[in-house]
Amino acid sequence: MNSELEALVRALDAVIQARGGQEAEHLEAIYQARLEEVLLRSPGLSRERLVAAVDFARRKWQRAEDKPSSMPPKA
């Protein structure tokens, strides 16, 4: 995952984890600003496609985080 996409995924995850309140609003504003920065640098990219890509990457990242380690515990 490139660093720009990872930053967006982490920003979205922070919004979701905050679950409301002023902190969530602040984190949402940061996420939206980062989306706008990427869109300004990528004129052929639509907001909908970018958001879909971030959502997909976040789900994939979350599944990888939730997956148990395949390494057996040390004795």
Residue 49 φ/ψ region, left for φ over 0, alpha for ψ in the -120 to 50 degree band, beta for the rest: alpha
pLDDT of 67 above 90: no
| pLDDT tens digits, 4-60 | 999 999 999 999 999 888 999 999 999 999 999 999 999 999 999 999 999 999 999
Q: What is the pLDDT of residue 21?
A: 85
Per-residue confidence at 69, pLDDT binned at 50, 70, 90? low
Among 66, 71, 61, 74, smallest CA distance to 1 is for: 61
Above 80 in pLDDT, residue 73? no
The reported pLDDT for the residue numbered 47 is 96
End-to-end Cα separation, the chain, in angstroms: 34
Task: Name, in order, each residue with C-beta under 8 angstroms of 31's C-beta and a sequence gap of 6 or more.
Answer: 8, 11, 12, 14, 15
